[in-house]
Amino acid sequence: RSLELGAKWAIADEHLLLVKTTRAVAASLRERLLALHPYEVPEVLELPVVGGASDYLRWLAGSVGPNAG
C-alpha cells in the first residue's frame, strides 16, 4: 500500500488488527496501541457495538479488563 507521509510517499505492508473489547477498557487499549505503533498517525478506530448475540456479549464483557478470566 502506498502512504503519503508529508511530502513523501512510502510503500508499506499493512495488516488489519481487529480487537474486541468493552468501552470500559477501550481508552487504555487505544493509548497502548498508539504508543506501540511505528506510524506517526496510525489508524486506530473505535466502533460501537449496536447489537449482537446476548450470550456472546456477556462472554466478551467477562473476558476483558483487569478482572477477566
Instruction: Name the 3-class secondary structure at 10.
Output: strand
Alpha helix ranges (H) inside 4-69? 23-36, 54-63
Per-residue model confidence (pLDDT) at position 69: 61
- Give the three cell numbers for residue 29: 487499549
Say yes or no to pLDDT of 9 above 80.
no
- Give the three cell numbers for residue 40: 506517526
Q: What is the pLDDT of residues 18-66, one digit of tens each?
A: 999 888 889 999 999 999 998 888 999 999 999 999 999 999 888 886 6
Q: Which one is predicted more confidently, 29 or 1? A: 29
Task: Please state, in angstroms and rounded to a whole number, the distance separating the CA atoms of residues 58 and 52.
Answer: 10
Per-residue model confidence (pLDDT) at position 45: 95
- 26 in Cβ contact with 46 (< 8 Å): yes
